[in-house]
Structure 1
Amino acid sequence: MSNKRPSLRQAAAILALACCTLGGAHAASTITIVNGNAPNVGFNDPTPLEPVGGNSGRTLGAQRLIAFQHAADIWGRTLNSPVPIRVAASFEPLECNADGAVLGSAGATEVFSDFPKAPMANTWYPGALASKLAGHDLASPGQAHIRARFNSRLGLFPDCLPGSGFYLGLDRKAGEQIDLVAVLLHEMGHGLGFQNFTDEGTGEFFLGTPSVWDHFLVDIRNNKTWVNMKDEERRLSAIGGATLSWNGERVYKAAARVLASKPQLLISGMAAGTASGEHPMGDASFGPQLGQNAVMGELMPVIDQGNGSGLACTPLSAANAMAVRGNIALVDRGACPFVTKARILQNAGARGMVVMENTSDPVSPLGGSDPAVRIPAVRIDKATGERLKSAMHRRSRTSSGVIASLGVDPDKLSGTDWVRRVRMYSPEEYSPGSSVSHYSVDTKPNQLMEPAINADLLHDVVPPHDLTYPLLQDIGW
């Protein structure tokens, strides 16, 4: 840390966030891209390409740069700052293998506290925001406000998600590829301030000073903000599961305009016993979305394995088909994609699918895409699945006495806590680069600043589609 003058504290930011694998009028801001690539690589790669999806570039490097400028223009139209924002960017090899990859990373290069016009004293603000609030550029000479890196090998090599490279078009028609513009918007969001500088793994403030984020993070178990916690309390709050929320006014007010009703799995029936009631679940990215007209039916397990589990990866036997016909099928995770299971159950006449997790991991949504799937699907955790299987132990061949209802709770918003504050990503196992500095994965519709890039993002950062800008407004934008 260096002191420029007694009223200003400045430090180089030590954290760059990695993206997980896989309203009103605003004055414009200028965002300048500083090309950090050497000749013939990254933004300067001369590999010939045909224009695609509104991207007129004729080389790989040119298309990458045009996509980056497109994302920068979206942010520039949204933000209001008298200080031009500089983004030092490059494409370079990042961690990846045949099954997963880091798409990109970005973060503020410097943080500042106690600068002129700072809204809160003794609080770190990222460089671009601090400069906007101060009314002049606080960055060190020659320093960019944001450093961003993106995976140059993605989809281009057999050891880096082969066949799943970046889609360079600007029209959101990525298909099975990964939409580069969405990734760019996400990572620039981190650099602009969607980023905490407190060490979530230890709970320690950066250089002993809280971040502006720490004033808005609240643990719903005790309604205590991070700025008022001790290190160990913050560390435990970051791994509390669905217990960490954002307590900012702008996000709170915008949530009802952006988020849909919370998906709901209700269990009832004469045989349900202690399994009755609402259960945590993740809904599916494929098939019909859950609505207020719930899909109901008796829950029936598929059994097609010697250990009593049911994978539903091949056409069902006559007995299993009879069991699920007109009912909701319970199957186990594993051996084939979720959409394959759903198609097989649908062909057998099932009204819906409940997938039981095969590990102790917390519940999460079901991924995949298949327009042929017409039945709703959800995922439950292993403990819930075992309780439901136990309740169905005395079932007949066509009836279990356990009723499942797949719908929504009209009184609750997806991804929010009991008082409708939007929850942050706080998995039970700490995930460096993902934990805390993202929204929860169960927001609906999917949000840009979830820890993974989803295929249905709209290249938008403002309500009524997205909650990224409201959070940045909460911290001072």
Structure 2
Amino acid sequence: MRTQFVSRQAARSLIAAACALTCLGAQAATINITSRDPAGLGFNDPTPVAPVGGNMGTTLGQQRMNVYKYVASIWEKNIQSDVTITVNAGWEALSCTATQATLGSASAWNIWHDFPGGKPGTWYPQALANKIAGTNLSAGQPDTTGYDNVDIKTQFNSNLGNAGCLDNTHFYLGLDGKAGNDINFVETLLHELGHGLGFAVVSVNTSNGYRINSAGTAYVATGGLPSVWEQFMFDNTANKSWLNMTSAERKASAVNNLQLAWTGANAVAGATMLSHIPIVQAASPAPGGNRNVDYATASFGPLPPSSGVLGALAVVAPQTGEAGPGCDPFNAANSAAVKGKVAIISRGACNFALKVKNAQNAGAVAVLLANNTTGIQPPGGTDATVTIPAVGISQADGDALRAAVTAAIPYGSRSKPGSVTVSLTVDPVRMAGADAKGRPLLYTPATLAPGSSVSHWDVSASPNLLMEPNINPDLTTTLTPPYDLTLPVMKDIGW
């Protein structure tokens, strides 16, 4: 996040103008998009393309900008502001490998505190600060960045789909949501503009919990100002709001998996849209072998059924010379073990989709992908040829299920060893993506994800939400319940 800071005195000098404007009442927002791409690149790319999914642009650059304007219009209809929201947009080479990529990023380009109408001693992203103050707070402020003191700066990966950058997976530029195995640019952009408008902690360094000081010159261990986001962050383990935490406590909370809840009234009310937590239910003939296991659905392959028996569990044994668990084609022993059964495979050494494809080729009917560290890792990746369901489970649950398979063997017959059967069902009490009080959970993986932790919904939410750290294929462009919780959060922070 890049932040341009301004003094408290500069903000206070705008009080009279702000009061004059806010008395008129807010109107639907206007978003003004400026491209920073040079001629021939990004939004100016002249490559001829055919219309797709309602996007009638005839060049690649035109289609990209058409999507941007379409997404901006969605946000314009959902939020209110008397002050034009300015966005600087561009296409750049962002980090990526052959199997994963940063699709894009966005942030508030300026943040403010102690302006007219805002909560005293609190940092706000500029677009929201402008809306509350009723005027453009950066008007007349010197700009040395070349971005004209815009409210939001966005960038998207210009290399996506090229060799070495999520190979052969491109941005889908249609407006109809039919992205198939490509990445829906509409949803990606809708997500990123949400961050720029304020869906982010903005003023806290999550790696150490430090806040930005009031002068806007540095992150400091003590004495910094909280962001508007922090007043709605409540850690169930510490039993504290982030407003009342030390830097060390905020650092710990940012990696306190499934324990950081959002307390804003609008989002809590909307969280009733969340489904009950899906679980794998393991039944064993051995004493103590029954087990309920939380899971996360893979981004590839068919969705697992909401209920019903998957089959008997099978443990995949290590193979000589393999790159990692399930990374190589299965040998005869493993093929015989998984045929017609549900394979358990650990994460590591290769992508999830390859592991599932190898299990599928060996005859497995489904795969449980166990994490190799704490927590549950949603299996990511793409492979249109995967036709069996796969889900991610925790390392501890994977170990316990393997042990249960071994323990069950003596409880069968000589011709048919005892086995563990797994079914899919839902927890009758817990909600997917919410705490015990029904408050939606923020993303706090046990290993910090800089730029993602605490500034997204947790990946356990079901249905999937726009502001999770991953773009999922079942998203819509509706920002309100019963489809999504984005707009309720924006209302909580002041939109």
**Identity over aligned residues, as a percent?**
41
- Distance in structure 1 (CA, Å) of the matches to 2:39 and 2:325: 55
Equivalent residue number for residue 401 of structure 2? 388
Equivalent residue number for residue 153 of structure 1? 159
The DSSP-based 3-state class of the residue aligned with 2:46 is: coil
Is this contact kept in 2: 1:284–1:377, CA < 8 A?
yes
The DSSP-based 3-state class of the residue aligned with 2:212 is: coil
The DSSP-based 3-state class of the residue aligned with 1:279 is: strand
Q: CA deviation at 1:428?
A: 1.4
Amino acid at match of 2:227: S
Determine whether 1:246 maps to 2:251: no
Amino acid at match of 2:155: R
Equivalent residue number for residue 63 of structure 1? 63
Amino acid at match of 1:135: G
- Distance in structure 1 (CA, Å) of the matches to 2:90 and 2:317: 51
Amino acid at match of 1:356: A
Could you tell me which of 438, 447, 450 is aligned with 2:465? 447
Equivalent residue number for residue 212 of structure 2? 206
Q: CA deviation at 1:90?
A: 1.4
Is this contact kept in 2: 1:288–1:374, CA < 8 A?
no
After TM superposition, list the pairs within 5 Å mapping 1:344-359 onto structure 2.
352-357=366-371, 359=372
Equivalent residue number for residue 278 of structure 1? 292
Is this contact kept in 1: 2:230–2:241, CA < 8 A?
yes
Tell me: CA distance 1:290–1:272, structure 2 relative to 1, closer, same or farther (3 Å): farther
Is this contact kept in 2: 1:93–1:151, CA < 8 A?
yes
Equivalent residue number for residue 364 of structure 1? 377
Q: CA deviation at 1:127?
A: 0.8
- Distance in structure 2 (CA, Å) of the matches to 1:7 and 1:412: 45
- Distance in structure 1 (CA, Å) of the matches to 2:7 and 2:347: 55
TM-score normalised according to structure 1 size: 0.85
Determine whether 1:215 maps to 2:234: no
- Distance in structure 2 (CA, Å) of the matches to 1:96 and 1:349: 33
TM-score normalised according to structure 2 size: 0.82
Amino acid at match of 1:265: V
- Distance in structure 1 (CA, Å) of the matches to 2:354 and 2:91: 36
Equivalent residue number for residue 422 of structure 1? 440
Could you tell me which of 5, 8, 24 is aligned with 2:9? 5
Q: CA deviation at 1:9?
A: 9.6
Is there any run of 5+ residues in structure 2 with no aligned partner, and where? 15-25, 141-147, 214-223
After TM superposition, list the pairs within 5 Å mapping 1:72-471 onto structure 2.
72-118=72-118, 120-141=119-140, 142-155=148-161, 157-196=162-201, 197-207=203-213, 208-257=224-273, 259-271=274-286, 273=288, 276-285=290-299, 286-291=301-306, 293-295=307-309, 297-303=311-317, 305=319, 311=326, 314=329, 317=332, 321=336, 328-333=342-347, 352-357=366-371, 359-367=372-380, 376-394=389-407, 395=409, 398-471=416-489
- Distance in structure 2 (CA, Å) of the matches to 1:349 and 1:94: 38
- Distance in structure 2 (CA, Å) of the matches to 1:319 and 1:398: 18
Amino acid at match of 1:262: I
Equivalent residue number for residue 22 of structure 2? none
Tell me: CA distance 1:468–1:144, structure 2 relative to 1, closer, same or farther (3 Å): same
Is this contact kept in 2: 1:9–1:113, CA < 8 A?
no
Is this contact kept in 2: 1:27–1:77, CA < 8 A?
no
Equivalent residue number for residue 17 of structure 1? none
Greater relative CO, 1 or 2 (CA 8 Å, sep 6+):
1
Q: CA deviation at 1:271?
A: 1.7
Moved more, 454-463 or 30-39: 454-463
Q: Residue by residue, what CA displacement relative to the aligned partner does 1:189-208 show, whole Å, maximum 9, x if unpaired?
A: 00100011211111111211
Q: CA deviation at 1:94?
A: 2.2
Q: CA deviation at 1:373?
A: 6.6
Moved more, 339-348 or 428-437: 339-348
Tell me: CA distance 1:320–1:58, structure 2 relative to 1, closer, same or farther (3 Å): closer
Amino acid at match of 1:228: N
Q: CA deviation at 1:154?
A: 2.1
- Distance in structure 1 (CA, Å) of the matches to 2:170 and 2:443: 26
The DSSP-based 3-state class of the residue aligned with 2:406 is: coil
* CA RMSD of superposed structures (Å): 3.1
Is this contact kept in 1: 2:6–2:112, CA < 8 A?
no
Is this contact kept in 2: 1:263–1:290, CA < 8 A?
no
Q: CA deviation at 1:71?
A: 0.8
Tell me: CA distance 1:242–1:56, structure 2 relative to 1, closer, same or farther (3 Å): same
- Distance in structure 1 (CA, Å) of the matches to 2:230 and 2:179: 36
Q: CA deviation at 1:159?
A: 3.5
Q: Residue by residue, what CA displacement relative to the aligned partner does 1:172-201 show, whole Å, maximum 9, x if unpaired?
A: 122222221111111110010001121111
Equivalent residue number for residue 18 of structure 1? none
Q: CA deviation at 1:222?
A: 2.6
Is this contact kept in 1: 2:297–2:303, CA < 8 A?
no
Is this contact kept in 2: 1:167–1:177, CA < 8 A?
yes
Equivalences, count? 455
